[in-house]
Structure 1
């Protein structure tokens, strides 16, 4: 495991037991980060009853399931670098102004980061503009009843009270994800791919987690360009959409996602997260 991955894992609260979904647990064993869990009902877990992120075996299995051609991967990486550089350069001043506005709106850092599971099970830290109150991780302080139950299932809530007024506008236009282009530039993500998932969310894919982790996570993708908030993990629709992209990634699919994203952002299907 490289130094950056080790640094990400350092400080994570780890244990071994609990019930899904809120009891998902993790631990670091030497150079292996093991995420063990009880699968949701009617979901099939891997034979090892957990995923060992960071192991050569898991990474090799994901690589075997990657059906993308070398030419496609090469062209896409060049596109990712050029496109993300353009966005970072053009968006630097607007991003600086947004950061100032966020700090004026609510106290705390304008940038929010969380650990995500990337291609091959590699853990990385994703960056976004903060759209919630600074202490949003104190879920019990802001959510109760049905909202808390929904958060435990989907890790998102309709009309989340933690979202600030400015944050809601940023989410409606997806401007909160501008810092993601730093992740793209350094190679943790791609412009287009499955949504970057947390260790809690990856459990919903069961034995098919290796499939969705066979390609890099994206800033936008098939889910955002089609159903977005309408597809949930609980219904199984979210998994179906993400797996469809991972198994059929190509220029045509990417073009469809790229064009569809603008419809989701600015068209009739526009919605917050």
Structure 2
């Protein structure tokens, strides 16, 4: 079940801001610095700064005070970047109207941000762009939520009621806890609230798994003076404190943009400066060593389980078991040249073409052959979480020693554990570290590189 989400609002606001900034520069500034370099500089820094100030992280429950803080933070840093352009490229020259341009950008963008903020509130108060919610808890918490969303209808929430194993004579009582899951699906609920003081830990885990499986939002009503883990963010809906699970890296659009841009640039460099001369040499060597095609392609699971052809350099003799049995130690199918290619991971080089095509990423969980996917899906808990991002040429599990043949159950368990850790803790610098470790491993003898 897909949750209802206003996914286009944030990108649209970003585009509006950039149009306003560029328009002011065009109509007000001196034409001498309305050029590609200045526009690119301003646009890049605006987006870069907004990412770190979280300028566009404005939600339906965001307080106006938070909005002011975001504006001041964004424009303070942006002013330094804006003025630095003239210091670096204009050698400190005072360009005509440069302060007027900045003042107009500040006033126009700020006014537009407040306008959109209040227009959306007005729009939601009319019963549009709403989100449906239910509570697992008790009558007291239910009344607090109902009163909040009734008096603050501009938040855009519809409170359907609550579930509790304790029976209540209330119009908001929807039934016992175990009836909540089917109700949520049948009534297209978007957010699930939970009072942990009224729900036991086992049930809370069950609710959490259900929410994750159905891609819903989970909110926790904290107990007074409680201390919570770093995996939650404390926010306020009116005077009611709410614990919101932190977004995982790949739930953010910017993560996918950063990763894709890096993938394209890195793969292009590798293809142009390495593969352009290396592949012809390897073609001759492979052809002389054994009969068969130069490239080997095999169907594997990609993002969300979508099948794609994964390309490699052929390292085995042509055989009927290629799609059924993975390589093992002293595998007689591996050719002499193939053994070297697999030892050095050179057989994986064509996967940079997969990256350019968008089927793979430089770093991510390694894609398994289909028979392995079918087997491990039933044997390993949370195995399919690996398919929530694009598979990679290399990954955290591979540089941690869990590559190649799966000999015992702990091998695949640890591989999946590290893949999930990567998904939940991704950062650009983690990718760089994994790539650097992969390059280092090229020069050392890895035990499972066969």
* Structure 2 residue 435 is matched with structure 1 residue 258: yes
2:387 is aligned to: 213
For 1:1-273, list aligned pairs within 5 A. 67-68=249-250, 69-90=252-273, 91-135=275-319, 137=321, 155-202=326-373, 203-206=375-378, 208-229=382-403, 232=406, 234-235=409-410, 236-269=413-446, 271-273=448-450
How many Å apart are 1:220 and its aligned residue?
Answer: 0.5
State the TM-score, normalizing by the size of structure 2: 0.41
Q: Which stretch of the first structure deviates more once superposed, 193-202 or 163-172?
A: 193-202
Contact preservation (8 Å) 1:99, 1:110? yes
Q: Rg bigger for which structure?
A: 2
Q: Which runs of 5+ in 2 are unaligned?
A: 1-212, 216-246
TM-score, length-normalised on structure 1? 0.66
**Aligned partner of residue 228 in structure 1, secondary structure:** coil
Relative to total residues, which structure has the larger helix share, 1 or 2? 2
Deviates more, 1:232-241 or 1:211-220: 232-241
Contact 2:327/2:405 (8 A) holds in 1? no
**Most deviating of 117-126 and 94-103:** 94-103
Q: By how many angstroms is 1:94 displaced?
A: 1.1
| Offset from partner CA, 1:41-83 (integer Å, 9 cap, x none) | xxxxxxxxxxxxxxxxxx986xxx9642322221110111111
Structure number with higher relative contact order (C-alpha < 8 Å, ≥ 6 residues apart): 1
CA distance in 2, matches of 1:229, 1:196: 11
Contact 2:385/2:420 (CA < 8 Å) preserved in 1? yes
CA–CA distance in 1 between the matches of 2:446 and 2:296?
A: 26
Q: C-alpha distance in 1, partners of 2:291/2:415?
A: 34
**d(CA) in 1 for partners of 2:387 and 2:293?**
30
Q: Is the 8 A contact 2:301 2:308 kept in 1?
A: yes
Q: Aligned pair in 2 of structure 1 residues 158, 126: CA closer, same or farther (>3 Å)? A: same
1:213 counterpart SS class: helix
Unmatched tracts of structure 1, length 5 or more: 1-58, 140-150
Q: Name 2:33's counterpart in structure 1.
A: none
Q: Which runs of 4+ in 1 moved over 6 A?
A: none
User: How big is the alpha-carbon RMSD for the aligned residues of Structure 1 and Structure 2?
Assistant: 2.6
Q: How many residues align?
A: 199
Cα pair 2:341 2:347 within 8 Å, conserved? yes
Per-residue CA deviations over 1:150-202 (Å, capped at 9, x if unaligned) read x86xx331111110010111111111111001100010000000001222222
Q: Residue by residue, what CA displacement relative to the aligned partner does 1:85-130 show, whole Å, maximum 9, x if unpaired?
A: 1111221221011012111110010110100000111100000000
1:14 — aligned with what? none
Counterpart of 2:383 in 1: which secondary structure? helix
Shift of 1:268: 4.9
